[in-house]
Amino acid sequence: MSRKKIALIGAGNIGGTLAHLAAIKELGDIVLFDVVEGVPQGKALDLSQCGPIEGFDAKITGTNDYADIAGADVIIVTAGVARKPGMSRDDLLGINLKVMKAVGEGIKANAPDAFVICITNPLDAMVWALREFSGLPHNKVVGMAGVLDSARFSHFLAEEFQVSVRDVNSFVLGGHGDTMVPVVEYSTVAGIPIPDLIEQGRSTKERIDAIVQRTRSGGGEIVGLLKTGSAYYAPATSGIAMAEAYLNDQKRLLPCAAYVEGKYGVDGLYVGVPVVIGAGGVEQIVEIKLDDEAKANLQVSVDAVKELLVACKGIDPSLA
Ligand code: APR
């Protein structure tokens, strides 16, 4: 059996980290694509030289030609411009929409059977646009947001309760950004729901509310510190977890930006929901019971995504 092929569109900070992780995990051979000449080739060569030390055989190549992504099993898209301080994800809309058009057409022409994971922001709009431009089935195109958002939430919760991150399971829904909906009732430490831990006096509602807020603005906090770009280690790690779920048919239940039609009262939008990822791509969308507050928060999030799609259609009439 030949090795799997992973194409990474965008060889910037996240793209390079994705390639490094995919190689170390031997997920398959890796093609790094970028519009800038020399960057994907240089990064591929540098990363290939990790092989003898780390002991991986994954072949890593860099390219500026979409023809080289042909036959990719998984494609992870990070092409575009990252947020600068003071810039919201939505400011990126116009610039990155054009990038999604080029990438979508490149995928359609060269690798229409791939499972595509979009990371480019503003995520919920970009994954939708990428799906439209590529014409791939909805279950084969997903957005990476919830895995990262819930990792951020879990990290802060583990610190708060002074427990291992391995024992924290947190749950987020909705759009990626300020309107994401961390669901406290479904977030647990070794199966114990957070509200029960508050009742036991292990934390307070105020402290958990502050953690929820910090999770919502988790990306912005890092942008503010880095000053020259946005987070990349945890976003890449999250993308790789989704790729592994598909490649190894793991049937993992992960929060992802998936195309929702009907469930959660959403009709025909990409929004963050729990999904099962396996060899069939997005195999299931899991609906959970939400209280009125979470429902209202999810609606705010959905409305924000809808607004972005209206803006996209205004910028590119072919999407209307
Ligand atoms: N096709 C392919 N690559 C492109 C294109 C394009 N049309 N336009 C830009 N790129 C490349 C850039 O040359 C750059 O190498 O995309 C890469 C983006 O890399 P970085 O600027 O380092 O950004 P990164 O931190 O990797 O984030 C990428 O993910 O989380 C989101 O908000 C983030 O939208 C941003 C994306």
- pLDDT tens for each residue of 174-228: 888 778 888 999 999 999 999 999 999 999 999 999 999 999 999 989 999 998 8
In a domain, 76, yes or no: yes
- Let me know whether 165 and 292 are in one domain: yes
User: In the listed set 92, 110, 142, which residue is the last one of a domain according to the structure?
Assistant: 142
- Let me know whether 137 and 41 are in one domain: yes
**Domain assignment of residue 171, given as a range:** 144-308
DSSP 81: -
Strands 188-189 and 192-193: antiparallel
Total domains, the chain: 2
In a domain, 130, yes or no: yes
Protein residue whose Cα sits closest to atom 27 of ligand 1 = 82
Ligand 1 neighbourhood includes 119 CB (under 6 angstroms): yes
**How confident is the model over 229-243, as a mean pLDDT?**
96
d(CA 188, CA 176): 21
Does 90 score more than 70 pLDDT? Answer: no
- Let me know whether 112 and 59 are in one domain: yes
In a domain, 248, yes or no: yes
Does 130 score more than 90 pLDDT? Answer: yes
- Let me know whether 46 and 137 are in one domain: yes
Ligand 1 neighbourhood includes 12 CB (under 6 angstroms): yes
**How confident is the model over 275-300, as a mean pLDDT?**
93
**How confident is the model over 284-305, as a mean pLDDT?**
90
Does 49 score more than 80 pLDDT? Answer: yes
The domain that holds 296 is classified in CATH as 3.90.110.10
DSSP 62: E
Cβ-defined contacts of 85-91 (< 8 Å, 24+): 85/223, 85/224, 85/227, 88/177, 89/121, 89/122, 89/123, 89/176, 89/177, 89/219, 90/122, 90/177, 90/308, 90/311
Protein residue whose Cα sits closest to atom 4 of ligand 1 = 79
Rounded distance from Cα 96 to ligand 1 centre (Å):
9
Ligand 1 neighbourhood includes 148 CB (under 6 angstroms): no
CB half-sphere exposure, 236, CA atoms < 13 A: 21
Ligand 1 neighbourhood includes 11 CB (under 6 angstroms): yes
The yes-or-no answer on residue 155 being catalytic is: no
**How confident is the model over 107-131, as a mean pLDDT?**
96
Residue to mutate, 20, 78, 91, 110, ligand 1, most ligand atoms under 8 Å from C-beta: 78
In a domain, 224, yes or no: yes
pLDDT > 90 in the chain, percent:
82
- Let me know whether 242 and 207 are in one domain: yes
Does 83 score more than 90 pLDDT? Answer: no
In a domain, 319, yes or no: no
In a domain, 320, yes or no: no
Determine the pLDDT at residue 26.
96
In a domain, 313, yes or no: no
Give the residue ranges of the annotated binding site for substrate: 83, 89, 121, 152
In a domain, 128, yes or no: yes
pLDDT > 70 in the chain, percent:
98
Count, residues in the chain: 320
- The better pLDDT of the pair 155, 181 is held by 155
d(CA 69, CA 59): 13
- Let me know whether 160 and 294 are in one domain: yes
The identity of residue 264, as a single letter, is Y
ipTM above 0.95, yes or no: yes
Query: Which position among 20, 138, 155, 176 bears the catalytic label?
Result: 176
d(CA 82, CA 142): 19
Q: Among 71-85, 139-153, 188-202, which stretch is predicted with the lowest mean pLDDT?
A: 71-85
Write out the H or E segment, with its range, that includes residue 185: none
- Let me know whether 129 and 151 are in one domain: no
User: In the listed set 142, 173, 200, which residue is the last one of a domain according to the structure?
Assistant: 142
Confidence of residue 229 (pLDDT cuts 50, 70, 90): confident
Q: What angle do CA 16, 235, 240 make, to 5 degrees?
A: 70
User: In the listed set 109, 142, 175, which residue is the last one of a domain according to the structure?
Assistant: 142
d(CA 32, CA 7): 6
- Let me know whether 183 and 284 are in one domain: yes
- Let me know whether 72 and 56 are in one domain: yes
Ligand 1 neighbourhood includes 14 CB (under 6 angstroms): yes
- Let me know whether 148 and 91 are in one domain: no
- Let me know whether 164 and 279 are in one domain: yes
The domain that holds 98 is classified in CATH as 3.40.50.720
Q: Where are the beta strands (DSSP E) in the chain?
A: 5-9, 29-33, 60-63, 74-77, 115-118, 141-143, 168-169, 172-173, 181-182, 188-189, 192-193, 252-261, 267-278, 281-285
- Let me know whether 138 and 201 are in one domain: no
